[in-house]
Chains A and B, each alone.
Chain A
């Protein structure tokens, strides 16, 4: 044993002269921790003994505790005695070093069978105190007063019909209104609103903020708390399409610590080790947790697929794929496995639910109405999902359309020489495009086929568009019959490096009505664009070069330039094919990282986020023609998000009415604009005039002072003359270049 505490603690050997005893100093400066009773536990069920057996009992108890990992000494135990009988009272107090040790002992020794007749019952000392002093009589809890909640869609009632967007910069989250230049203003701002980022629910009702403790939903006009989901260290969040459910993911597996809050809104011990949690957005209840499935195979590319759970368009089902094995579909709100078994599909890689179009919704509404009337309409339309399987053994690759929940296969198509497939649904669920990356026999080069399923037609006819190049991006026109794709034959494709800008071609295709095939409208060759962004209303499209250090072009195109918006459904058949495509404008936003249309299709926002780089962070807002409306360069700018809008509440008939009377409305708006403009300019002009007058008045006094000053100094005052007089000097230059004298003899 070392002669002093220092050595004993460190377990190291010092030189003889360094061996100084510090224990007195340590004792003197020992930090005195706050004295509480948290470190004391009360153990019931201890055998009743008399004093003679005390030492033996204490040693035994200490041994039992220590064996479970809660080390105590016999000195830590206090035994109360009954003065009358001279025996112990059957319970003891144990004091631990700190509350944590006490809690550990409580959890490990509670209900411990000491011997055949004695079982330990352990309580915290503080708990006993608390419960002892509880009032006996039952007091009825006061009824909470009903507080009406704010309308969660208040922003839609804006008289000016503006859209909102949220920006996240530094620690500040700001909510803005976007409308005509005079109507843009900050609606709300809060510092340190979120720890990670913010996210809108798909219909714009909630704003989600992510914190260490979990997710918080906000809503209403004054941005009050709506709901929270206690998922510690949450990193990703996803909403179901109708905002009924929320999915959260954290990299850290769920841990339920001792003494954690319990209830339907919290994790229970069964959830431990999982990463994904599904919640009910309204009640905040936890529905189910899952563990993350990483795609197996190449472990080097261990990347999480997000969203990990895919929702059907009506929020009735949620499904996830176990690559290579099965698709598991869960019913809501019970979150039980539908039909008690997953859909076993060997080799399945990916799947997508078919989105519901406006037509589907109308039908569903009509269905609901007839159902309430007591009549039984036809069977409600089922959900549909599409999945693909790669070539396995001798089987070709296959794309399958399946109805759900009946699990009937609607259509299958075999594909050959497939490297990779991507499924793209048009947002109305009219078409499904399968982008098939195919390889040649030698597997050296890759080209692309588009297999387009026309889902609304009988037997699901498939149209194939063959392309020679690799397709890097594909997107459907929302509510339209057109799509845009970006293809590239650049040899640098696939090995991106700094300073390499990949040359791309952008092509537009349109459905030929009647014939049912897709024909090329136009190809824009040798671009650098790598991103296509359709306006949510269709027709307008922006081609952007994003994430490049040298190029940052934005091209604005109109695909129905020659036809009027009202009558565009008649199609361009009368005109020359593809003549309606018109370039509207080109803009440039240096180092752009994101581009997004507002939900009304009036504005495009581009932003350069500090998450990607630190060059000229900030955002810009453009109109659909590519005119810059606003540009803000803000350092530490992180995020820009438009607030989504829910579907229109107007019926088809009302919408038609508005479209018919568009001219009337636009006249009113024009008048409003004109009035406002003259108002603003008058104000501005007055303001400028005031500034100029101030300046001129100041100049006059100063000039007088200057003149005065100079006179005092005895200088000549010719300030004005000096400026006015201009001396013109005419200079004639005679230069003799050469002089020769000749004598002429006569």
Chain B
């Protein structure tokens, strides 16, 4: 896991782990970062929380995590700080989403049947009170963070790799496609490599954006901080909506990251008439 300075593009620090990092996430105030490592080669999957030292030039970071625990049960693949920094939100291969105590590693709350298959992506709303997950079970769902209750379900016909929440507009963005291994055997049209826009509340599809030649892998909501942590992954993958909500980026199996700017009409269009919808 590496820590970068966004302004200068310099790598500030580097943490080494025995297995691959699956997911990293900043806390709301950028003071902490959580990462999850894969369960592989005899190493247990681990969640580590580091405090970021903002003094000096940022290269002086603590090597040891402030907290570390091993989640039990189905393999955890996704993590993020929940509505409070004391709780870590986790997504599991079984389709479970759960809240873990950041200090003790105890499972505080869980929804075993959040999805029927592997949870592929999880992104929180700006105030972290609700979040969207995407899954291989061809659905994306909106959950309340506190109770982990499913509030909305978006059903599509392809396995989904990614889901993001649009800002300023009541939409969620979904990306997916078929398995990477079958991409070369099917046509572009068949692949459904579009980014789909769904209405957050009415659970209806409102539009699509084409572009990729391969399935979209994940989408992430970037928090525009001064520091950026990345981890090395085999393939590029990401859809992100900018914090101002005026553009989004998607990364696909084809190795491209595409940045799409919304045009004027996106903001003006009110496909469902005048409705006051809270973010």
Q: Which A residues contact B (CB, under 8 angstroms)?
A: 549, 590, 615-616, 633, 685, 688-689, 691-692, 695-696, 698-700, 702-703, 705-706, 709, 713, 715, 719
**What separation, in Å, do the CA atoms of A719 and B275 have in the docked complex?**
23
Asked if B83 and A695 sit within 8 Å, CB to CB, the answer is: no
Report if A688-B272 is in contact (Cβ < 8 Å); known contacts: A615-B187, A702-B129, A706-B129.
yes
- Quick check: is B84 within 8 A (CB to CB) of the other chain? yes
Given contacts A615-B187, A706-B127, A706-B129, list 6 more A-B pairs with CB under 8 A: A688-B275, A691-B202, A695-B278, A702-B129, A703-B127, A719-B127
- Quick check: is B55 within 8 A (CB to CB) of the other chain? no
Asked if A692 and B276 sit within 8 Å, CB to CB, the answer is: yes
Across-interface contacts of B201 in A (CB, < 8 A): 688, 691-692, 695
Across-interface contacts of A696 in B (CB, < 8 A): 276-278
- Quick check: is B273 within 8 A (CB to CB) of the other chain? yes
Taken residue by residue from 141 to 173, chain B's Cβ proximity to chain A (1 for < 8 Å, 0 otherwise) reads as: 000101000010000010000000000000000
Report if A692-B127 is in contact (Cβ < 8 Å); known contacts: A590-B189, A706-B83.
no
Across-interface contacts of A615 in B (CB, < 8 A): 186-187, 190
| Cross-chain pairs A/B with CB under 8 angstroms, 15 sampled | A615-B190, A688-B272, A688-B275, A692-B276, A692-B277, A696-B276, A696-B277, A699-B279, A702-B127, A702-B129, A702-B130, A703-B127, A709-B83, A715-B29, A719-B127
Taken residue by residue from 8 to 29, chain B's Cβ proximity to chain A (1 for < 8 Å, 0 otherwise) reads as: 0000000000000000000001
Asked if B190 and A616 sit within 8 Å, CB to CB, the answer is: yes
Chain B contact patch, size range: 20 to 34
Report if A705-B129 is in contact (Cβ < 8 Å); known contacts: A616-B190, A688-B202.
yes
Asked if A705 and B278 sit within 8 Å, CB to CB, the answer is: no
Judged by DSSP, the binding face of A is: helix
Across-interface contacts of B29 in A (CB, < 8 A): 715
**Count of A-B residue pairs with CB < 8 Å:** 49
**What separation, in Å, do the CA atoms of A633 and B155 have in the docked complex?**
13
Chain A residue, CB-CB nearest to B86: A713
**What separation, in Å, do the CA atoms of A715 and B127 have in the docked complex?**
14
Q: How far is the CB of A357 from chain B (nearest CB, A)?
A: 44
Chain B residue, CB-CB nearest to A549: B187
Chain A residue, CB-CB nearest to B29: A715
Across-interface contacts of B127 in A (CB, < 8 A): 702-703, 706, 719
Q: How far is the CB of B26 from chain A (nearest CB, A)?
A: 16
Asked if B279 and A692 sit within 8 Å, CB to CB, the answer is: no
Q: How far is the CB of B106 from chain A (nearest CB, A)?
A: 20
Across-interface contacts of B276 in A (CB, < 8 A): 692, 696
Q: What 4 A-B pairs have minimum CB-CB distances, sorted nearest first? A: A699-B278, A702-B129, A696-B278, A695-B201
Asked if B146 and A705 sit within 8 Å, CB to CB, the answer is: yes
Asked if B84 and A709 sit within 8 Å, CB to CB, the answer is: yes
**What separation, in Å, do the CA atoms of A700 and B276 have in the docked complex?**
13
B residues 83-123 near A (Cβ < 8 Å) are 83-84
Taken residue by residue from 262 to 278, chain B's Cβ proximity to chain A (1 for < 8 Å, 0 otherwise) reads as: 00000000001101111
**What separation, in Å, do the CA atoms of A695 and B84 have in the docked complex?**
22
Across-interface contacts of B277 in A (CB, < 8 A): 692, 695-696
**What separation, in Å, do the CA atoms of A703 and B190 have in the docked complex?**
42
Interface residue from B130, B187, B273, B279 paired with A685 (Cβ < 8 Å): B273
Taken residue by residue from 236 to 279, chain B's Cβ proximity to chain A (1 for < 8 Å, 0 otherwise) reads as: 00000000000000000000000000000000000011011111
Asked if B275 and A703 sit within 8 Å, CB to CB, the answer is: no
Across-interface contacts of B130 in A (CB, < 8 A): 702
Report if A703-B187 is in contact (Cβ < 8 Å); known contacts: A688-B272, A696-B276.
no
Report if A703-B129 is in contact (Cβ < 8 Å); known contacts: A590-B189, A692-B201.
yes
Interface residue from B186, B189, B273, B278 paired with A700 (Cβ < 8 Å): B278
Across-interface contacts of A715 in B (CB, < 8 A): 29
Q: How far is the CB of A695 from chain B (nearest CB, A)?
A: 5
Taken residue by residue from 42 to 85, chain B's Cβ proximity to chain A (1 for < 8 Å, 0 otherwise) reads as: 00000000000000000000000000000000000000000110
**What separation, in Å, do the CA atoms of A702 and B131 have in the docked complex?**
13
**What separation, in Å, do the CA atoms of A702 and B144 have in the docked complex?**
9
